[in-house]
Amino acid sequence: MAGVVVLVIVLPVIALTNYFGSWGRLIGQIVLSIVLILAMVGSGLFGYIFFKAQAKKWGAGLFVAVILCIIITYWLWAGHLPFL
């Protein structure tokens, strides 16, 4: 359980604050990107399932979550929001 807390909470905070230098930031970026990719895959899969089940509002909400995860991943690696 403590390992999950470190991987999901502590390393992304290190990535965002740059506390441990460039290596800590890189490791935090990689871990946070993996977590966001898993969230994108899960949300996209369930969004597709909801669209097929005629629950279009839930599907649209999950696809919005996928778009937000893509924007956050881009911001994490590029250092700025897209189109700015």
**What pLDDT sits at residue 48?**
93
Higher model confidence: residue 13 or residue 65? 65
Task: Report how many domains make up the chain.
Answer: 1
- Rounded distance between C-alpha atoms, residue 60 and residue 73, angstroms: 20
**Range(s) of the domain holding residue 14:** 2-78
In a domain? residue 71:
yes
In a domain, 38, yes or no: yes
pTM attached to this predicted model: 0.74
pLDDT at residue 43 in the model: 93
Residue 50 lies in a domain: yes
Chain Cα centroid distance, residue 25? 16
For 1-57, the pLDDT digits (tens) are 677 666 667 667 766 777 777 787 787 788 888 888 998 999 999 999 998 999 989
Residue closest to 15 by CA, chosen among 7, 25, 23: 25
Q: Please tell me which residue, 72 or 18, carries the higher pLDDT value.
A: 72
Give the pLDDT of residue 40. 92
